[in-house]
Structure 1
Amino acid sequence: MTLASPSLDLTSCDREPIRTPGSVQPHGCVLALAPDGTVVQASDNLAHHLGVSATAALGRTLAGVVGDAIAAQLEGELAGELSSVAGRPNFAATVRLNGGCFDVLVHRYDALLMLEFEAVQRTGVADFRHLYPLVGDFLQKLGDGDPVEKMSATAAAEIRAVTGFNRVLVYRFDDEGHGHVLAESGDGGLPSYLGQRFPATDIPKQARELYALNRIRLIHDANYTPARLVPPENPLTGALNDLSFAALRSVSPVHLQYMRNMGTMASMSVSLMVQGRLWGLISCHNAAACHITFDKRTACEQLGQILALRIESREMADELQFRLEVRRTMVDALAGLTQGADFIENMGNVFPQLLHFARAGGVAVVVDDRIVGFGETPGEAQVRALVGWLQANTHDDLYHTEQLAADYPPAYAFRQVASGLLAMPISRIHQHYLLWFRPEVVYTIDWAGKPREKEGDIPADAPRELSPRTSFASWRETVHGTALPWHPGELEMAVEFRTALLGIALERAEQMAELADELGRANKELEAFSYSVSHDLRAPLRHIAGFADLLMEAAGNDSLEKRQRFLKNIKESARLAGKLVDDLLSFSQMGRASLRPVHVDMNDLVRSCVDKVKLDAGGGRNIVWHVGELPAVTADPTFLQLAVINLLSNAVKFTGQKDPAEIRIEGRRTDTESVFSVADNGTGFNMDYVHKLFGVFQRLHRMEDFQGTGIGLANVRRIVERHGGRVAAQGALNEGATFTFTIPNILPST
């Protein structure tokens, strides 16, 4: 594209062929060699520099253009690594030709080996030895804790010292692509732009892509006349040469006019790549034409790379510190949300942490019709209307903006307290939201020339003439209706916070479900308790009262033997009533007492239980005990012993009519749990009623036939379930019964 294209609109800047200009800057010349070593393309200023015309050079070998001695010198370099290098140019040699001195650069692209001959004023070879002390000195000047602005100022001063340019700027691109000047070093020969911004439109998209690809670019004279390539196309591909990596690549005529309008005749740019993206530029300007040799450009490029690495390190450290602080605040807030059952009340308790978490001016929680706010927030009616709009128009896990009125015009009325909004839906069904508000921050931007899009008399979509802007006079813009932007770390932590909130809600729901199950079980146990109180406990009390009346009526008339029988019945009834009360107390304790799990040798525990049950059974029974090898477990030994004694006592009781009675105790360990069983050859039970076995005061046999309170197996179940295990029973009438329980290898947290 040339300046003779006034009818094109600005959008065509992004389509200008800046990578394939078909020409080079004239302070050097170009030879393009095919794989067979012949020259297939040359710049039309070849005769001026090397004394051979471009057309005469075509078809010749390198020696035929530059002579045998220089060709031998270059071919020695090209025969090594450089011949295979693609991309950025590498230094090959410094040669003298046609009365001049040239730095020869080489790179391979588009199947061609590109040789660039840059004219230099010195007579000696390029000296790269100064690079090491320069880099070392620069590193020493950069402190570990220096902010980005200070490091940038140090780099600007170093690069101006190397190049001698009148002004060196370091600027970074913001999220909209505008360049903000962070640092400047100048000699006063050119205006200062420190602190000002350059509009994003100054650098089209494709130019930014090229900056990321080729990290350094020099324009030695804004008034140069380009030297065209002969022929214009690459003879091997039939397409225009891609000169992205050529040091001599010609630049857009529009940019040259931009430089002239800016009052700079020479410029150099060094790209600052941070975490794989174009973070900013080091931009060097000079009022007069100026050529910077390759060795000095290499030094500047190295300084730029070091600065970019230090910026990346500084930003990563700051980012990590920021995220740690946000996470610490989030954890504090979450800890406060688990204290009580009321969500609104819990939120109110942690409002200060929530404000700090999001660096907000106000926060509000909305749960159906309830709204509770803290800090500077819109009015209740405004919040309610805003939530209605959010529910109808936003469907993501988070909604955030620093210009709320742009999306929701009614917000203009309360922009002073809520120009920024971070909204978190807590429920997809109900109108439950957590809202953070950031106040309006009125600020000014100093532009280096008024951006085109700020021209109020020109429609934004109007076609415009393709020409560089002519004014760089400072223009100040005042921005309203905008809050501080939300940091990506804040947004990520907010998503985590929402997930944690949902986790708390889910845990509460599970606790409520578990509580409902426990309540249902407690109700059943209460019903059984009521029945026991009305029947089992009242029966012995009636016996006591009845036999006491008989004893009183028979006083003085009956024999001593009869009175003793009455007293024995009274004693037995009182004993049974007391046992019922004791067993009820034990059952209640099973649900309240804390477990104290330790390593338990089940062989020892069962052996002691068998001894106790034998003692209680007396010596008149013929009981054969079969005890297998049992695995060890981690459990509360006191509770576990009570469960085992209950099971063994049951086995002894229900084998009372067997001679011999056989009781078998076995155990085994699996990958997840230990399984134990107690089997007997006693009365057994009907499996139709197995579901009643482990209930409180449930019996499958008459109390007159087998004594007991009906609480023992209920205690067994409660003990085992407290350990996270299971109980089961298998039996048949008159064929015995087997009771099984499990203890997990890893106990649940209690």
Structure 2
Amino acid sequence: MVPHEPRFGASGAHGLSSATQTQHGAELTACDREPIHILGTLQPHGFLLAGEGADLRIVQASANVPDRPGRLAARIHGQPLGAAFPEIGSAAASDLAAQSGREGANYVRTLTLNTVDGPRSYDLAVHQSSGLTILELEEVASETASAHSLDALYPLLNAFVEGLHTATTAEELCALLAADIRHITGFDRALVYRFDRDWNGTVVAEDGNGVLPSYLDLRFPASDIPAQARELYRRNRLRIIPDAGYEPVPIVPKLTPSTGAPLDLSQSVLRSVSPVHVEYMRNMGTMASMSVSILVDGALWGLISCHNKAPRQVPLRARNACDFLTRIFALQLAAKERGALAEQRLHLGAIQARLLGFMAEEDQFVDGLLNHPEDVLALTGANGAAIVTAEHCRLLGTTPAERQVRGIYDWLSVHHGGEPVYMTDALSAEHPPARSFADLASGLVAISISQKYASYVLWFRPEVVQTVKWGGNPTKVATQDPTGGPDRLHPRKSFEIWKETVQGRSLPWSAPEVDAAKDLRSAVLGIVLRRAEELAALSEELQRSNKELEAFSYSVSHDLRAPFRHIVGYSELLRSREGDRLSDKGRHYVDTIIEAAFSAGTLVDNLLTFSQMGRNSLNRVSGDMNQLVEEVRRKVARDVQAERVIRWQIGSLGRVYADPVMLRLVVENLLSNAVKYTRDRPEAVIEVGREPDRDAEAVFYVRDNGVGFDMAYVGKLFGVFQRLHRVEEFEGTGIGLANVRRIVERHGGRTWAEGNLGQGATFHFTLPVRGGAQ
């Protein structure tokens, strides 16, 4: 199995038969109850001390505490920590106090203990457990300690953070994380493993050296990681097994004297693992493994899982660096997912707003849906839909036959009559007659549109037959105990690809799609009860979603400004005050730091401006567009090199009704781009004009004869951080055109562009003609 905690190789995987699941239900329940957090033993690559009270009197310790000159390990029980281990008590007392309130096992420092076998280096970690202070000292070789010092790890961490800016998709982020984690740890294989909603896991990214087989795209059943193991992953982000052939070390005494209970090792870095898991690792052909939990908004999203064919120890500091990378990854991933969800919600909200308008215009709101089938289907991404009441059944798009839809209606009325919304992507599993039309309706979203009568809007999705590649047969059965004892589950011995064809399932419904259906239900009921109020409610919900995204972007960009300014300021102080003592290479390094930090600060400032565009209110006034363009043109021209030749052609632009501050930013971005991308031309020609108004819109354009762009990438132009030219060729942050689009859309207008490589580009934007504009 790919992850790292106890795995039992049993059934229960998504897509398996209910009979198989029932067969192993008892065994899986037993697995879920195994107390893996209180096994009472440790892995032997370190030792543990449990201290109680203000003086950290030692009440429990692992059996492998080393003897030291004049201090036998057998006599430390009952002694204060400072007396039993002066090196820890005196050197780390303040650090221990600082760590005591933090969650999880935290690295304190690396220290040296004098033992009867000579000096030994240990990484010290500390955490709290049931009123006890748990100290864990993990032995580390001196050569590995220097190889994983902060100075050695910093270039890797810095490169990872830089790489985040170029990763545009979640897949690219995962691949970057897998490669960097393996680079830091030196394991043979590093995997990014993602859970689905049923807790099956899929390997979505992998980096390896070829020693171990590839598991990329393989799926593993939810039963491989029981519920209590998943909870431990959530609470304890870092786990390592340096040698699967280890002999467990007991904790002495077994029970805590003051409580009479076993020591809770949930947060321990040395905690033993289930014997079943050790057997599992051996079956995989791995003798060492490490995992780092990926938490998104506090929930377990997935794992980084590393494996090595031979035993391998990774120092705690290197593991902490992996945890740091994973946390940064999780923040970036959460931001991308939130942004994608917010964008989808806004898109669906616009569709819903149109549907509400259509329904409001009709005497019978149902006609507003029936007359606009494209929007009804687009609201949830469905292929077909139906509006069904006791008297009528109206079908839209690709649907089952009317009698089959009636059957779904009757089934919903009986089994889900009290539910306002019902959703499934495996209809035939709950409504067996649906197997006969799975190709038309394997997915179903149903909303009840009456609080008194059985009336539904139904959306259908067709079956999508998938071939799932499992990492070994997930239907491993219990094995008879030859001694006559109870049957037990054994981990799989084979991890060869085991394919299963999953039928009767559609593509899953996303949360925004289901929410859109719920919102439509609320709107329909609002029309029936209060026709005048539902549009206001929809607008408020859309504004809330948009403000959440804007507030997140504003907070991140605002908080990043000060660190970059500090970097620039202190670097300039270093250059001015200590420059004479620096070598030429050192001064070059300082200049590079200043330039990079200044560029990053500029990027943050632009991002902050972008986020503010959605937060600031519009103050529209009627104004002369020619006057505004001329003021901006003069400002832009001041920064142009004296030797450049630019021919400006500005037509009659008339008046507009807009926010002058925001509109100035639109014009400034477009003219600055035109100047920048024509600088290689002997004579730059920049034209600003207004086309004939159409559909109550004023259409403006900015045209240049610069380098242009490939129309195949026109969709990227107005996106945040999207660039079609290298920074080495043309400077910029990739936010300017995104600001243009956001401002224009807030005014109710549109933006688009046309261009050809080497022949220039034309950027269009529109503004509504109203309120005194001419």
Normalized against structure 1, the TM-score is what?
A: 0.63
Which residue pairs with 1:331 in the alignment?
Answer: 353
C-alpha distance in 1, partners of 2:393/2:109? Answer: 73
- In structure 1, C-alpha distance between the alignment counterparts of 2:528 and 2:240, rounded to whole Å: 61
In structure 1, distance between residues paired with 2:471 and 2:409: 41
Which residue of structure 2 lines up, in the alignment, with residue 447 of structure 1?
470
CA shift in 2, pair 1:83/1:369, >3 Å = closer
Residues 398 and 454 of structure 1: CA distance in aligned 2, closer, same or farther (over 3 Å): farther
- 1:104 aligns with one of 88, 110, 124: 124
Question: CA 1:297 to 1:344, structure 2 compared with 1: closer, same or farther past 3 Å?
Answer: closer
| 1:356-395 correspondence runs (5 A) | 356-394=378-416, 395=418
Within a 5 Å distance, the mapping from 1:275-674 to structure 2 comes to 275-394=297-416, 395-452=418-475, 464-506=487-529
- Contact 1:20–1:242 (Cα < 8 Å) also in 2: yes
Q: Deviations over 1:31-74 (max 9, x none)?
A: 222323432222111247889654232233445544x5565334
* 2:209 matches 1:192: no
Aligned length: 499
**Alpha-carbon distance, 1:447 to partner:** 0.6
SS of residue in 2 equivalent to 1:177: coil
Q: 2:34 is matched by which residue type in structure 1?
A: E
Identify which of 264, 268, 272 aligns with 2:286: 264
Instruction: Specify the alignment match of 1:91 in structure 2.
Output: 108
Aligned partner of residue 93 in structure 1, secondary structure: strand
Residue 29 of structure 2 is matched in structure 1 by 11
* Per-residue deviation, 1:344: 4.8
Are the structure 2 counterparts of residues 468 and 50 from structure 1 closer, same or farther at C-alpha, using a change threshold of 3 Å? farther
Q: 2:59 aligns with which of 40, 49, 54?
A: 40
Deviations 1:384-422 (Å, cap 9, x if unpaired)?
A: 232222222222112222111222221111111011112
Q: Is the 8 A contact 1:32 1:40 kept in 2?
A: yes
Moved more, 149-158 or 10-19: 10-19
Aligned to 1:253: 275
CA distance, structure 2, for counterparts of residue 342 and residue 107 of structure 1:
65
Contact 2:87 2:113 in 1 (8 A): no
Q: Which of 35, 47, 53 is equivalent to 1:29?
A: 47
1:73 maps to a residue whose letter is: A
For residues 387 and 361 of structure 1, the distance between their equivalents in structure 2, rounded to whole angstroms, comes to: 18
**Structure 1: tracts of 5 or more residues without a match:** 456-462, 511-750
User: What letter corresponds to residue 289 of structure 1 in structure 2?
Assistant: P
CA distance in 2 between counterparts of 1:48 and 1:219 reads 25
Cα distance in 2 between the residues matched to 1:144 and 1:96: 45
Aligned-pair CA distance for 1:109: 2.3
Are the counterparts in 1 of residues 105 and 125 from structure 2 also a CA contact under 8 Å? no
> Does the Cα contact within 8 Å between 2:358 and 2:368 map onto a contact in 1?
yes
1:477 Cα deviation from its structure 2 partner: 0.8
| CA offsets 1:441-467 (integer angstroms, 9 cap, x no match) | 111111111112799xxxxxxx85132
Supply the distance in 1 between the matched residues of 2:101 and 2:368 (Cα, whole angstroms). 67
Mapped to 1, the partners of 2:61 and 2:521 lie a distance apart of 64
CA distance in structure 1 between the aligned counterparts of 2:466 and 2:320, rounded to whole angstroms: 40
CA distance in 1, matches of 2:87, 2:279: 42
User: CA contact under 8 A between 2:425 and 2:443: conserved in structure 1?
Assistant: yes
- Equivalent residue for 1:60, pick from 79, 83, 102: 79
Q: Deviations over 1:283-335 (max 9, x none)?
A: 01111111110110111010011111111111101110111111111112222
Bigger drift between 196-205 and 125-134 goes to: 125-134
- CA–CA distance in structure 2, aligned partners of residues 233 and 227 of structure 1: 15
Q: Flag the structure with larger Rg.
A: 1
The one-letter amino acid paired with 1:465 is: R
**1:569 alignment counterpart:** none
Deviation string, structure 1 residues 612-651 (Cα, Å, up to 9, x no partner):
xxxxxxxxxxxxxxxxxxxxxxxxxxxxxxxxxxxxxxxx
CA RMSD of aligned residues (A): 2.9
The percent of aligned pairs where both chains have the same amino acid is 43
1:223 has 2:245 as partner:
yes
Q: Which moved more, 1:405-414 or 1:364-373?
A: 364-373
Unpaired segments of 5 or more residues in structure 2? 11-23, 479-485, 534-774
The answer to whether the 8 A contact 1:399-1:424 is kept is yes
Structure with larger RCO (C-alpha < 8 A, sep 6+): 2
Return 375-384 or 151-160, whichever deviates more.
375-384
Give SS of 1:19's match: helix
- In structure 2, the CA distance between the partners of 1:246 and 1:345, relative to structure 1 (3 Å rule), is closer
Contact 2:125-2:135 at 8 Å conserved across structures: yes
Superposition TM-score, scaled by structure 2 size: 0.61
How big is the shift at 1:264? 0.9
The residue aligned with 2:134 is: 114
> Over residues 348-399 of structure 1, what are the superposed CA-to-partner deviations in whole Å (9 max), with x where a residue is unaligned?
2111111111111111223443322121111122222322222222221122
Q: Deviations over 1:429-448 (max 9, x none)?
A: 44532221111111111111
Q: List aligned pairs for 1:119-158, cutoff 5 A.
A: 119-122=139-142, 127-143=149-165, 146-158=168-180
How far 1:130 moved relative to its partner? 4.2
